[in-house]
Structure 1
Amino acid sequence: MPKGTGASSAAPRNQLTPEDWIKAARNLLVSRSIDAVRVEVLAKELEVTRGSFYWHFKDRDDLLHRMLTAWRDEATEQIIYRFERRGLAPRELVRDLLTLPFRGTAAQEAASTELAIRAWARREERVRQVLDEVDAKRLSYIAQCFSALGFDIPEARARAFALYSYELSESLLSNQGTTAQKEERRACMERLLLK
């Protein structure tokens, strides 16, 4: 379609960025499995030649490493930064963290990606190490919130683990219960964690 005739503003297929490849790889990881994330499959999905892949990546391993790094940064570093930037008081921050699993399509997509990463981590040690790093960073951040509320370190860590386990469970069991039941569970966790 010629320019100016309603053509999509997306880059032409021959001008894909590394992020386009990473996004497509992540979609395959979520919809199929890590085994499906192959150069030839991605090229077909993106409607380009396999050769264009090598403008951005050395090989499949390079793509997988960069996809995992991008997920780690998005799922941990950027989220913590956004929370910090808002400057919420610790009690409000804990309440806000409890709502993460219920934030619409973005939360569902994040949960699907995380579940796929966790499945991948059961098969590959390097992925397991990144996942362990992410879990530790998140738990540490949440524990700091509870410490700021006056809980001693062991209690802050235990409450952080409970909150984090709750978030993971709500993501895993996202189809369990009505909206009202989910809100009841969230409110119950808030009462338990903040008393």
Structure 2
Amino acid sequence: MRAISTEPPEVPAPPAKSQLTPADWIAAATHVLRDKSIDAVRVDVLAKVLNVTRGSFYWHFKDRNDLLERVLKSWRDAATEQIIHRFEKSGATPETLIKELLSLPFRGQSAQDSASIELAIRGWARRDDLARQALEAVDAQRLSYITRCFEAMSLPRSEAQLRAFMLYSYMLSESLLRTQGTEDERQARRAFVEHTVLARCCPCSETDASSSPQA
């Protein structure tokens, strides 16, 4: 029988200032998620990508789940909270803010990268509660902000919510279906949606709810 060691487990030494930070691991995990899948986001894979040992990972994170939680938090901060904060500080009119939102899917390579990451997270959320809850919170936060923009145009909340959903659905579709149509066609879609959501009178608000078809 082998003797049981009484020595404490080896603890990795503190990383030098020049070594990797948690943000480096989070960025690497996000890139692997985007380019492959959540199944590929593993400690051994990331260590190989970053050219370091596995021990470096455990200096910054408790385990893989800790890393995944922080990947989702980092995505939410970059793709939602920072954008809303920047818009709110701009002092722009609600109409201008809505036009700015409509322009987000058209902002070159950064918009394409953001859309690819979001598509990967939405795929992940289909089979994982952690990602699903994070995604639902992001969708709710974005819709709430857009609704407030429309309410600032003196629209009733019910109509503001409808227009916000239309605008947000368009933004997601344009981001995820960015190869559909020519550039002129994409710009025409954008102009049409902008005209529709900023119209002062919404046809649906003039229709009695009782007249809608019943299931």
Q: Normalising to structure 1: TM-score of the pair?
A: 0.92
Among 15, 20, 41, the residue aligned to 2:19: 15
Provide the C-alpha distance between the structure 2 equivalents of 1:38 and 1:130, rounded to a whole number of angstroms. 20
1:141 alignment partner in structure 2: 145
1:102 alignment partner in structure 2: 106
Structure number with larger C-alpha Rg: 2
Percent of residue pairs identical: 61
Contact 2:97 2:149 in 1 (8 A): yes
Cα displacement (A) at 1:127: 1.3
Provide the C-alpha distance between the structure 1 equivalents of 2:172 and 2:104, rounded to a whole number of angstroms. 10
Cα displacement (A) at 1:14: 6.6
Cα displacement (A) at 1:177: 1.2
* Greater helix content: 1
Moved beyond 6 Å, runs of 4+: none
1:43 alignment partner in structure 2: 47
Q: Normalising to structure 2: TM-score of the pair?
A: 0.83
How many residue pairs get aligned? The number is: 184
Matches within 5 A, 1:24-39: 24-39=28-43
Provide the C-alpha distance between the structure 2 equivalents of 1:160 and 1:26, rounded to a whole number of angstroms. 28
| RMSD between aligned residues | 1.3
Post-superposition Cα deviations, 1:132-168, rounded to whole Å, max 9, x if no partner, equal: 1100010000001111112111100000000000000
Provide the C-alpha distance between the structure 1 equivalents of 2:198 and 2:18, rounded to a whole number of angstroms. 53
Provide the C-alpha distance between the structure 1 equivalents of 2:161 and 2:134, rounded to a whole number of angstroms. 20
Q: Could you tell me which amino acid in structure 1 is paired with residue 152 of structure 2?
A: A
Q: Could you tell me which amino acid in structure 2 is paired with residue 23 of structure 1?
A: A
Post-superposition Cα deviations, 1:37-81, rounded to whole Å, max 9, x if no partner, equal: 000000011111111111111111111111111111111111100
Contact 1:13 1:46 in 2 (8 A): no
Identify unmatched segments of 5+ residues in structure 1: 1-11
SS of the counterpart of 2:155?
Answer: coil
SS of the counterpart of 2:67?
Answer: helix
Q: Could you tell me which amino acid in structure 2 is paired with residue 160 of structure 1?
A: A
Contact 1:163 1:193 in 2 (8 A): yes
Provide the C-alpha distance between the structure 2 equivalents of 1:13 and 1:183, rounded to a whole number of angstroms. 47
Provide the C-alpha distance between the structure 2 equivalents of 1:25 and 1:129, rounded to a whole number of angstroms. 19
Contact 1:25 1:67 in 2 (8 A): yes
Judged with a 3 Å threshold, the aligned counterparts in structure 2 of structure 1 residues 103 and 92 are, in CA distance, closer, same or farther, namely same
Matches within 5 A, 1:1-195: 15-195=19-199
Provide the C-alpha distance between the structure 2 equivalents of 1:66 and 1:23, rounded to a whole number of angstroms. 10
